[in-house]
Amino acid sequence: MEITAKQPWLGSLGEVPATLDYFQGSMVEKVESIAAQYPSNIAFDFMGKSTTYKDMAANIEKCARSLRTIGVRENDRVTIAMPNCPQAIYMFYAVNLIGAVANMVHPLSSEKELEFYINESKSVTVVTLDQFYHKFEAIRENTCVVNIVIARIRDALSRPLRVGYMLTEGRKIKKIPEDAPVIMWDEFMRLGKACFWNYKVKREADDPAVILYSGGTTGTTKGILLTNLNFNALGQQVVATNPMFRVGDKMLAAMPLFHGFGLGVCIHTMLSQGGRCILVPRFTAESYSKLITKYSRASSPAATPCRSSSRKSLTSSSTTTRPSSRCAKATARPRPSPPAV
């Protein structure tokens, strides 16, 4: 017997559709479809440097080939501990492209927390910035990590900004030993030249794609396993409830991509729907106001309880509570809920 329920809200939806047909592929497939439609459109901006959808897609492919070359396979976990920067975007979608699962963690978490996140997810590879290398090296022997890939913010900057960065922030970063057992980003991306075939893995909507972590407000931090459909549906829902959205519209991505809202709305919603992300690696009121002025028609993320923590995300140590060993799985439904924030 079919069960029906009254839906009194339908008359108040206006231009918002009552139902949606959700994309049934992977997250990267949705982004690739946009790149094929609008190759010359700007996908994201980082510190004044713009990247087109075509270039972004090409770098995702290179990154995916390199991941396969170093041994990452379908359903493996890859820990990404990075702020909003181009390398993080490429790595996130490359992990999805090869059928692995992205384990998104706060790079300023304590060593003990990072060790828990890596072991709980059984990550085989870690990707982080040079300034966080020493924390990961300190716990490496206590984990099952095979490779650590190190990126640098300066490599994603234009030449004038790179010089200024090295004279200010860059000089504060503790140097990585020349014989350190890591793969630097440029070297990592070159490794993909050895991989030509069978690096793409077909994934379905209900396949796991991302692990995010709760804030520990109830006393414990939990891993939340989310599917391709969770994020693709969220992107369609956000745009469906905003009839004014147009391809090329901008959003200031101030929320970090290891945060549900940051990854789900600021990054994936925009890239999967043809928008333009303004990547904000470090939130400060001064820099944020300048970006709002520069990108005068850019959308700004809605205020959430994490806004204050986003402001501190790259300027102070994490204070999350001690993790527990429990891991919750979010299962996709015909109308899945947005990723936990």
* Structure-block tokens of residue 313: 């995300």
**DSSP state at residue 51:** E
Q: For position 318, what pLDDT does the model report?
A: 37
Could you tell me which of 38, 75, 21 has the C-alpha nearest to residue 240?
A: 21
Residues in the chain: 341
Full residue range of the structural domain in which residue 98 is found: 23-329
Report if residue 335 sits inside a domain: no
Number of domains in the chain: 1
In the predicted model, residues of the chain with pLDDT beneath 70 are: 1-3, 159-160, 162-168, 170-171, 296-341
The whole-number pLDDT of residue 302 equals: 46
Domain of 110, CATH number, reads 3.40.50.980
Query: Nearest to residue 200, comparing CAs of 65, 301, 58?
Result: 65
Amino acid at 288: Y
CB atoms closer than 10 angstroms to residue 139: 19
Residue 341 forms part of a structural domain: no
Is there a domain that residue 141 lies in? yes
Residue 15: inside a domain: no
* pLDDT at residue number 124: 96
- 301 within some domain: yes
Q: Residue 10 falls within a domain, yes or no?
A: no
**Residue 135 pLDDT:** 95
Look at residue 229 and tell me if it is in a domain: yes
**Stated pTM of the model:** 0.83
User: Is 313 contained in some domain?
Assistant: yes
Q: What pLDDT is attached to residue 196? A: 80
Give residue 111's pLDDT: 96
